[in-house]
Chains A and B, each alone.
Chain A
């Protein structure tokens, strides 16, 4: 008589049943902790994404708020340069105590273009 003689309703013989029951193995308690310790010790440290030069420059200037203010001031200055308000020369005079005048172009060598003709 051998182990094949005893197939029951499950279709498994004694050996199959014995093998199936052998699946349950008690894992030593310390093993799981040691494996996890190894895992954490060997775990790669997440690397920070490289920061671009533009991003660092932007952060140095105060982030998006600072850059927004800077852009606004640049636009305003540019616009004032192109189309200065009518009251601006008077304001400059009162602030600086000097009058503005349009200087005639003088040649670099002390004579005018008309003299050359």
Chain B
């Protein structure tokens, strides 16, 4: 495996090494990709256990596809984000069928307004999670991938299998909706006094 001293092997090279039986490649890929796919699933589903299941399943699909992976056709992480997004979509649909209106993050425990910065940060995170959960599914995915995972619009377009302009539209509408949802809580979340 050719190693670039500057950046190390890329994901496709690591996947090829994994398919050849390289255990170290399995460890590196797990360390690099599993946290990202878990974070994406958690932001989409708002549930730790379900996000774990999605991350594990998406990674399992990656391991299975490794021997047949064609380098250069798609970026490994892009493929993985797409698999995770589809798995999340399936779960959200099942949720809607099971209990209408359950597609939301559970109410957090009493945020207990406090001078403690940690508690305030937790309250802000909870508020964001709830606002995200209230977004339509496609807007949520676009916002998560663009503004939380930090992906570029063309990559998000590949993951969501839509055009770049559609991604821009979804993220713009998603952010507008988030602002609208969070604005009434500005004071409660401490944004009035804090120039974060």
Residues of A within 8 A of B128 (CB): 18-19, 22
Residues of A within 8 A of B119 (CB): none
Stretch at the interface among A2-10, A73-81, A102-110: A2-10
Cβ contact of A44, chosen from B19, B29, B35, cutoff 8 A: B19
Roughly how many angstroms separate A20 CA and B21 CA in the complex, as a whole number?
A: 37
| Binary contact readout B39-51 vs A (1 if CB under 8 angstroms, 0 otherwise) | 1001100001000
The reply to whether B30 and A39 contact each other, CB–CB distance below 8 Å, is yes
Roughly how many angstroms separate A40 CA and B22 CA in the complex, as a whole number?
A: 10
Residues of A within 8 A of B124 (CB): 18, 21
Given A22-B43, A39-B29, A31:B55 Cβ within 8 A: yes
Q: Does B182 contact A (CB under 8 A)?
A: yes
Query: Which secondary structure characterizes the binding site on chain A?
Result: helix
Roughly how many angstroms separate A59 CA and B19 CA in the complex, as a whole number?
A: 30
Nearest chain B CB to A72 CB, angstrom units: 40
Interface range for B: 35 or more
Per the 8 Å Cβ criterion, residues 3-31 of A in contact with B are: 3-4, 6, 8, 14-23, 25, 27-28, 30-31
| Binary contact readout B16-56 vs A (1 if CB under 8 angstroms, 0 otherwise) | 00111101001101110011001100110000100010011
Closest to A45 in B: B21
Q: Does A1 contact B (CB under 8 A)?
A: yes
The reply to whether A38 and B59 contact each other, CB–CB distance below 8 Å, is yes
Residues of B within 8 A of A6 (CB): 191, 195
The reply to whether B186 and A3 contact each other, CB–CB distance below 8 Å, is yes
Q: Does B97 contact A (CB under 8 A)?
A: no
Q: Does B147 contact A (CB under 8 A)?
A: yes
Residues of A within 8 A of B55 (CB): 31, 35
The reply to whether B34 and A1 contact each other, CB–CB distance below 8 Å, is no
Residues of A within 8 A of B182 (CB): 3, 15, 18
Per the 8 Å Cβ criterion, residues 111-134 of B in contact with A are: 121, 124-125, 128
**9 pairs, A vs B, C-beta closer than 8 Å:** A1-B183, A2-B179, A15-B175, A18-B128, A20-B147, A25-B42, A27-B34, A35-B55, A40-B23
9 extra interface residue pairs, beta carbon distance < 8 Å, beyond A19-B128, A43-B26? A3-B186, A16-B147, A18-B128, A23-B39, A25-B39, A28-B48, A38-B63, A40-B26, A43-B19
Residues of A within 8 A of B (CB): 1-4, 6, 8, 14-23, 25, 27-28, 30-32, 34-36, 38-40, 42-46
Q: Return the 5 tightest CB-CB contacts between A and B, nearest first.
A: A46-B21, A42-B63, A39-B26, A19-B147, A25-B39
Residues of B within 8 A of A (CB): 18-21, 23, 26-27, 29-31, 34-35, 38-39, 42-43, 48, 52, 55-56, 59-60, 63-64, 66-67, 121, 124-125, 128, 143, 147-150, 175, 178-180, 182-183, 186, 191, 195-196
